[in-house]
Structures are given as C-alpha cells and as structure tokens.
Amino acid sequence: MNEFRLQGKDPATKARAGEITTAHGVIRTPIFMPVGTAAAMKGIFHRDVKEEARAQIILAKTNHLYLRPGMEILERAGGVHRFSTWEGPMLTDSGGFQVFSLAACRKLKEEGCHFRSHIDGSKHLFTPESVIDTERTIGADIMMAFDECPPGDAPREYAAKSLALTERWLDRCFDRYRQTAPKYGHYQSLFPIVQGCTYPDLRARAAENVLQYDADGYAIGGLAVGEPTEVMYEMIEVVNAILPEDRPRYLMGVGTPANILEGIERGVDMFDCVMPTRNGRNGQLFTWEGTINIRNKKWEDDFSPIDPEGTAFVDTLYSKAYLHHLTVCQEMLAAQIASLHNIAFYLRLVGEARRRILAGDFKVWKDRAVAKLSRRL
C-alpha cells in the first residue's frame, strides 16, 4: 500500500508534516501537486517541473486522457508514467469535477453520467466501474473515486440528493477497485471524496460514511466552487475533525497561496490547483510579498529579477521588465516563464510550511505570510 507516516504536528494548530511512500517515490507533506491535465504542465518540460520547481507528485485528468489519447494507446505504452516519462508519483482525478464544469452537456443518472466530448461532441458514459477501469489503465499511484460535484450555492435538497448518489457510486467504485488489479506491477490507492456542499451536517455524514472503506487517504471535494472562503474553511474543519489522523487528507482544487496555508493550518496534507499555471499564462505572478500583474506598465522598466528569492532558474535569470515585454507581445515564452515561476513558488510555499511545522513555529509564520501573500503589488 501507499503508506503515510506522520512526522510532526504544530503545537498551536492542526497542521501536520508527514511522508507518503509510493512505488514511484516518497511525497513529503504538506505538498502541492501541479496539474498536468493531459499528463503535461502546459509549456513546461517535466525536467523543469522536477528539478527547478521541485515537484514531488503531479496530477493528470482522467476524462481528458480517456478522450485523448485514449485507453488503448495508454495501455500499449505501459501506462501514463512510461507514456509521459514522468518518473515520480502521480494522481488521477476521476473526472467528476470536469463533468460538473461541463454542466450544459451532461446528464446524471443512477448508472452514471452521460456527457459529450469537449473535443468533437461525441457521446460518452462514465460509470463508477468504467472510471475505475480507466484509472487502472492510466496507472497513477493514487486514483480518485467518481463523484458528483454540486455547485457551491446548491440548495440543501439538491445537495442531499447529490451526496446520496455520490455515496452509492462510491460503493460501486470500491467494489470494482477490489475486483481489479493494477496493470503495470505497482500498487494503486483509491481515495474516496467527501462531498456535502456547504451544509455541515451533510459534510459530517459524508466524512463518517467514507471511514468504512479504510482507505489509504481521503479527499475533500466540492469546495472553491463559488461558496464564500470562510464557509470553505468551516467545511474543512468539520470534515477533518472526523477523518482519521493516520491517513493523508487531500483538499481538491484549492487554491490561492493564502488558501493553501489556511488549509494546512486546518490539517490538510495535499493540494492541487490550476491557478499557478492558468494565472501565470495571464501574467499573474505569486511571490512572498504579494501578487504581481506583470502586464502593468509599472513593470516595463523594472530591471530587477522576477523573484530574487526564487529557486527556479527563471526567477533570477530574467527581469520583470523583460517578462513584461514578452507578456504584452504575447510571446509564448512569457507563459512558460511565469508558469514555472508560479509552480516553483507554490512548492516553496508548502516546503516552508513543512519546515515551520517541524520547527514548531508554523502559526506565527503563517499569520505573517498570509498578510503579505494577499497583497497586490
């Protein structure tokens, strides 16, 4: 199994540091997982994601890989690790959130979810069983269960119905998981996802329900989908009070640097988000002092390094003025530089959080950091 070992707790908060051991390497938590939708971070070499950003695990999206290149190609390649040449741990989400975001072209039924391809409009059906089969073929170290992700402002009646469906699907996911074996000789975990929208009693019920599976880890889904930030933090607290301490907890799709530190304070171990790359492609840079919109004219003659404290080569090699120039010219290199800087920053953020947890001064450091991270420069 993918084993989780707790290595330290912060005395003033719920923050924890640990290690997850997988067949493809060790993941030191808390950790951020860059999102490689099609098994690649847009515009960045795997080498740079590993050596410059120092990513320990990356995420790929099941529904995208299912549509392209398709399961036959991935199986013939020997799974996603060999296909993409990423040698470290990988996680695949189940496609539930992507299906949620395609609400206009999906239909939910008891058997599963009918949806249309965003590529060519072709019709497809995802069931709990077919998603597990697909994730087995992809071959990531950690697989996510298939769920429905309701919007953040869903009425209670809808949220309750949605959760009941997710829980029935979860049973089917684990049945299929136990009936099947990994295809490429390495162990794969299956994490259930706790839903329940913004209703504390539904969240608590969902968290209690997933305990029956004695899973290698647990995910909190359906947050950062339109609900107020404070409500998101409250839901994390409700769920983490119930989830076991000796398993990793994964907050899906979150978030800003401040969101991540707030999640760590509440006992979350794993995070993913498209924000570092998507926002980077639009000219937003994350730094310890706050966020920079590199498109702004104020940077056109700032010849200082992009980030003097940065660990990626782009941070000290290029100036803000040069990156501003590339961005306003819509030069492809601008997106590559900003994306690599942001991923490296997110990994530094969680790395420093881990160091502070083990040193016992996380809370003081985190409060100071959040105040600065939220500024616009």
Whether a cis peptide bond, with omega within 30° of 0, leads into 30 is yes
Catalytic residue set: 93, 272
